[in-house]
Chains A and B, each alone.
Chain A
């Protein structure tokens, strides 16, 4: 079963614009992570935010976490064509639990 739900399912923007993707989840979490996937193959880890953190930055990425609303957002600023990929949020709960992924957002950045 999948816990996270990304929104929107698909997003198309022009190069240079900002892209915002949202993720909602159902149960209490320990960490929330964002991954990128190109062409349906290996996932690349982007950023991890812990349940006691509210915001985190990494380069052009900004992630927020609102545990009261059980939601997170990923902002990619000044997007590039190379950012075209599927983006997944994944959560893990306290204790020995695996990652639970959403269905992903397909981002297309048009040059």
Chain B
């Protein structure tokens, strides 16, 4: 079946602009995660959803970052007033469930964001 998909693959924007990154999880997966990966580093957690609600948003770096998942499937990560330091690969992952019986997280190909 189809895996996790993310659009766009690459996004170049100017400092101060607004961007939206989209994630389509695997059908039926209730848990959805956003991570950010800088060059030479491992992915760092941003936010995760269980269904429609954000169960943990403690990884969001500041209030310029926001994410939604209105129907419990597709999620959008929104970044306002982008800064050069926001440049990174943004990864989305989904899993069948979360919590104590957490299953494997399946990752999408990522969106490479470059802020000029």
Interface residues of A (CB under 8 A from B): 1-2, 4, 30-31, 33, 35, 40-45, 48, 88, 90, 92, 94-104
Asked, given contacts A99-B45, A101-B44, whether A40 binds B39 with beta carbons under 8 Å apart, the answer is: yes
**Residue pair A96, B110 in contact (C-beta under 8 Å):** no
Asked, given contacts A42-B91, A96-B56, whether A101 binds B110 with beta carbons under 8 Å apart, the answer is: no
Distance, CA A48 to CA B106, complexed state (A) = 12
Q: A42-B109, A43-B107, A98-B56 are in contact. List 4 more A-B contacts (CB 8 A).
A: A35-B107, A43-B91, A95-B99, A99-B43
Distance, CA A82 to CA B106, complexed state (A) = 21
User: How many chain B residues touch A (Cβ–Cβ < 8 Å)?
Assistant: 30
**Residue pair A103, B105 in contact (C-beta under 8 Å):** no
Question: Does B25 belong to the interface (CB within 8 Å)?
Answer: no
Distance in Å from the Cβ of A44 to the closest Cβ of chain B? 8
Best-surrounded residue of A88, A94, A95, A97 (most CB of chain B within 10 A): A97
**Residue pair B55, A96 in contact (C-beta under 8 Å):** yes
- Chain B residues whose CB sits within 8 angstroms of the CB of A33 once the complex forms: 104-105
Distance, CA A102 to CA B89, complexed state (A) = 16
Give the residue of A42, A48, A95, A103 whose beta carbon is less than 8 angstroms from that of B42.
A103
